[in-house]
Amino acid sequence: MLADTLAALTPADHAAGRRMALHLDNLTKPPGSLGRLETLAVTLAAISGEASPRVSPPGMLVFAADHGVAAEGVSAFPQEVTAQMVANFVSGGAAINVFARQVGARLEVIDVGVAATLPGRGVVDEKVRHGTANMVEGDAMRRDEAVSAIEAGIRAAERAIDAGCRCLIVGEMGIANTTASSALLAALSEAPVAGLIGSGTGLPAERLAHKQAIIERALAARAPDRADPLDVLAKLGGLEIAAMTGAYLGGAARRVPLLVDGFIATVAALVACRLGADTRDYLIFGHRSREPGHAHALAALDAQPLLDLELCLGEGTGAALAYPLLEAACRVPAEMATFDAIGIHVAP
């Protein structure tokens, strides 16, 4: 199934994007005056291949899983918070629930690897295993488990698209997943760990050197093959990160715009692009997270995010907040009058 999804990936329709650019120049405004909103309209036209792209309704996918490396004291919060937040997502009290309601999104919460056994209601059960192993002691997961988690993500993307969603907002919950993400980014980019770590949920500054040392030990012990993204993902990654990678691959294969959230989401998107380079054409970056490694992950994808609200949360919140800009970018070409229609003739 992963192989089928990779085989179905194609570049976006850049000719449709160029037609959109010509149309935008004929609307009743100085050419280019809507700035990056115009770039966004061109991107959305290229993604869908349509003259009037639509992003509504959006589908939100929040993947949850635990991390064995949490036992090393790399997060300000204990592992149990992952399951508690999953319960919060189900009862509608988390930040992502607020924004999902605001934009009328279909929200799905998917357990791909929470350590605790969850009471089933309201959570899609795709548990691959009860949390990853501690990457300092062994591979976070087996290669086939990484593939299973990716495939759970592909299925979730396909469910949302089959239910009518025109855009995917992908988020995560997993205590210690900034550690896994920094480790993945270090392995994929070969940049020094020191510039790729941050305080995540609020790890005190004096614990950062410890977080860095844990990641450096894991990198040395696991020795992942940088040229093999699945090897890197299995040895250092997380189940929710793998599922997000799958959701991006699945959404790109179906030619749907994918709104990327913060640091963790961007690292998952980087893994997806290493597995299937055409995925990049379908990614729109919602915001710049306060987590320092995010700038490196964005640079690795040559990405410029839409917002900078100094968020540092995850769950998909920064992507959800950027979603109304995508709606605006769809409405401008569909609803604005053209110069031809109002009888203004502009000199060439």
Ligand X SMILES: Cc1cc2ncn([C@H]3O[C@H](COP(=O)(O)O)[C@@H](O)[C@H]3O)c2cc1C
Ligand Y SMILES: O=C(O)c1cccnc1
Which CA distances in Å does 213 have to 25, 196, 209, 220, 238? 53, 12, 6, 11, 19
Q: Which of 160, 124, 333, 322 is nearest to 240 (CA)?
A: 124
Question: Residue 310 Cβ, how far from ligand Y at the closest point, in Å?
Answer: 11
Among ligand Y, ligand X, none, the one that 75 touches (CB under a kind-dependent 5 to 8 A) is: ligand X
Of 53, 246, 276, 314, the one binding ligand Y (CB under 6 A) is 314
Asked if residue 169 lies in contact with residue 248, where contact means CB atoms within 8 angstroms, the answer is: no
Among ligand Y, ligand X, none, the one that 187 touches (CB under a kind-dependent 5 to 8 A) is: none
Letters for 188-207 (x = contact with ligand Y by CB under 6 A, - = none) are ------------xx------
If DSSP codes are grouped into helix, strand and coil, which group holds residue 27? strand
Residue whose Cβ sits closest to ligand Y = 262
Among ligand X, ligand Y, none, the one that 176 touches (CB under a kind-dependent 5 to 8 A) is: ligand X
Asked if residue 268 lies in contact with residue 251, where contact means CB atoms within 8 angstroms, the answer is: no
If DSSP codes are grouped into helix, strand and coil, which group holds residue 158? helix
User: Closer to ligand X at the Cβ: 39 or 201?
Assistant: 201
The footprint of ligand Y on this chain (CB under 6 A) covers a number of residues equal to 14
Question: Residue 178 Cβ, how far from ligand X at the closest point, in Å?
Answer: 3
Catalytic annotation on 151? no
Q: Report the DSSP beta bridge partners of residue 167.
A: 58
DSSP secondary structure code for residue 8 in this structure: H
Which CA distances in Å does 20 have to 42, 55, 311? 6, 16, 32
Q: Name the catalytic one among 80, 190, 315, 327.
A: 315
Question: Residue 93 Cβ, how far from ligand X at the closest point, in Å?
Answer: 11
Question: Residue 183 Cβ, how far from ligand X at the closest point, in Å?
Answer: 11
Question: What's 97-153 look like in SS3?
Answer: HHHHHHHCCEEEEEEEECCCCCCCCCCEECCCCCCCCCCCCCCCCCHHHHHHHHHHH
Binding site for ligand X (CB under 6 A): 75-77, 81, 85, 172-179, 200-201, 203, 313-315
Q: Is 66 in the site for ligand Y (CB under 6 A)?
A: no
Q: Is 264 in the site for ligand Y (CB under 6 A)?
A: yes
Among ligand Y, ligand X, none, the one that 77 touches (CB under a kind-dependent 5 to 8 A) is: ligand X
- Residues annotated as part of the active site: 315
Q: Contact positions toward ligand Y, by CB under 6 A?
A: 178, 200-201, 261-265, 289, 291, 294, 312-314
